[in-house]
Amino acid sequence: MSASPEFIEYVKELFEPLGNLKEGKFFGGFSFKSDNRQFAMIMGNTLYFCVNDITRMKYEKNDMEPFSYTTKKGIVKVKKYYSAPEELFENQEKLVVWAKEAIDSAYSYK
């Protein structure tokens, strides 16, 4: 499912405090990079943040789901990206904190 242009623009506005980010199309969705490291993506109208082994627990405690897609063999879960909690969209400062954590998580991958 493609990311809606309106949702992409909304997330871009929320990410403005993060400074200069690289943005672009990504497998039918949209990606956000900091220093060439992808830390977030939008698929459909869902924002996913990059997680690592430590931050993943916070997402799981909040009942957030990993990014997944379907193949002929079944559902594939990508545990590097988890959906952002809905309440973050009501508080830009909190969303930016989680985004910065996602940027740090992106650096934990080679």
Model confidence over 50-66: pLDDT tens digits?
999 999 999 999 999 99
Structural domain count, the chain:
1
Which residues constitute the domain of residue 63? 5-106
User: In this model, does residue 47 exceed pLDDT 90?
Assistant: yes
Closest listed residue to residue 27, CA positions, set 88, 89, 76 = 76
User: In this model, does residue 89 exceed pLDDT 90?
Assistant: yes
User: In this model, does residue 27 exceed pLDDT 90?
Assistant: no
CB neighbours of residue 30 within 10 Å: 22
CATH classification of the domain holding 40: 3.30.1460.30
